[in-house]
Structure 1
Amino acid sequence: MASNHFDIVVVGAGALGTSCAYELAKHNHKVALFDQFSAPHHFGSSYGETRLFRQAYFEDERYIPFLKESYELWKIWETEFAVDLFHETGYLTFFDQESDIALKMTQNAKKWSISGAHYNNKQLKQKFPMFTINSSLRGYCEEHAGFLNVNLFLKSCLKQLISKGGKVFFNEKVCSWKKEQQGYQITTEKGNYSCDKIIFTVGAWLRNLTSLCEMKLTIRRGVQFWVDVPPLLPKKMPCFAFATNKDYVFGFPSFSKKGIKIASYHPSNTVDDLDKARESYTKEEWNAVRDLASQFFPWLPLTPDNFHVCIYTLTSDEDFILDYSKNDRNIILLGGGSGHAFKFSPFLAKQVSDFFICGKDIPQNLQFFTLR
């Protein structure tokens, strides 16, 4: 049994779980990472080629210090992994006078000294000819924003985890865990293991762990669409967002030969069966994106060339969950951040590594992530 004993077992190998496992292994802890699927897989939210990284957060400025630290940590991880994970393209937001999002974004950028440039309508048309821009719009481009390569990150992080002595168990579902006199017994579909501490980063499946988390979690579909671009469209372009008429659609430049990617900021229908493959999108989901995006890209086809359905795990206030389980400081829960947690992965992993091993209190600046 000694070979099956670990200091820490991490359950769930999405971005957060893989990041935590790597950060802990890097600090010489004996770590095992389990997932009921292979990795990367398309059942959760850590899939879909790219994820946006931005710092001028309109959602909640409490996240901005975490983003500033994440920006530096991604650079460190690029060095440690010896790969280019972050593509700093800039993030251009088009907005009209009714956009509360743009107002909060630009206010927070100024308050937190985040580099960016404002554009009037004439300047937008001159600098960004790949977009069709009506006369009522203005723009703001965050300079040090861009996108992260999702698949390369997961592949590289797993490789480094294994090189640090971490063990990876894919296609092996954790069925139960039992507290013993010293540590826990972990039972999976394939065997038994023991550990001192457990981290649950199970995404939407946290909804099923009611003994650990009683919070109401809503699981929704977040559909990403890819469309081929016309041959004459300039290849170099920033990540972008259309914030008009109280709506918000964002997108990415062409990457990995799949065309540009566009998606709605607002996830759509709820998901009941977590284990069922999501092999289609609805007409309403595509139209919610196309109706706005086609104002800037008149050439958009009537149907997308490709798509992927992520599942988003949302708390009622849409803040993350990062907390010990009830009455047990050897189990921690991390999740509830679908739609915006990926960019924080190195920061959150570092926080867990810093306080979880010693059983310290959740840091004061993270208290709004605790169970509520």
Structure 2
Amino acid sequence: MKIAFVGKGGSGKTTLSSLFIRHLVAHRAPVVAVDADINQHLGAALGLAEETSAALPALGAHLPLIKEYLRGSNPRIASAETMIKTTPPGAGSRLLRVREENPVYAACGRSVALDGGSALLMATGPFTESDLGVACYHSKVGAVELCLNHLVDGAGEYVVVDMTAGSDSFASGMFTRFDVTFLVAEPTRKGVSVYRQYKEYARDFGVALKVVGNKVQGEDDLEFLRAEIGEDLLVTVGQSDWVRAMEKGRPAPFSELEPGTGRALELLRETVDGAYARRDWRRYTEQMVHFHRRNAESWGNAKTGTDLADQIDPGFVLCEEPAEPGPLSPPRSAARPSPQPA
């Protein structure tokens, strides 16, 4: 199951995504965690020292390796250089799985020990001084999108992605890559504004969006969120002494997390597990093809000097088991922010 945590900067999405990862690991679930935020804090939230977190290998820096591995023997992809962030898999492509060893995980992932087990952590990498004025952050998260397009995950397996703040993820098709998107919102006008924007952008693409109200201090905060968000409000959480101690570098055992926060995390997991029965691999594949065509026409063809539509395998459907071949149909489209180059 693929899960995204989104929200405005400072909403607490990294803290909540790290708590959810800890909760999954405490229940012995296999977890791949991805820090796809421009501000790389997920490692520290999972207990890594700042210098260790900063030294995590960057997915963006290993993009040639990732492309070469994923293209495999796919005859529609002449070289790794012609792959872009939206390139879909086809016959002959290599796929990633949560519970396996592969060159991508070996180069870009690090095991993080947590109460009850460990999670594999990967990060896009920070925005460096050499990037200033010559690159956009979407070139880094493009590696995450490419991996998600080639990742096959099943029930009881979890890929948790801490996304970049605000609505930047709509600059690509990555927002459609998740079974559930948890939007973290504070009980303020600014807090719910990102929710409204996200819901509007996502409405034509079947995105399962649930809101987690954070920093809720009383009934007035709760009523505000209920009035502004309605049925999309899944659960709320308040201040946590456990989190405060963790942020000071003195974390208690995860079993000592406040019961209320623990119940909220359990509800998040139940929501994710319930989404598995509604998963539609054909629609998932159609959406990645849709955004690949858009990116190809917008900038990809010009950048690579090839017609990237030729990379699309019309008989291929990404799924846990081989699917019967069948033509893919384009999903409904709507006006959205222009795609950005990988």
Q: Do they fold alike, i.e. is TM over 0.5?
A: no
User: Which of the two has greater helix per residue?
Assistant: 2
Higher Cα Rg, which structure: 1
TM normalised by structure 1 equals: 0.26
User: Which of the two has greater strand per residue?
Assistant: 1
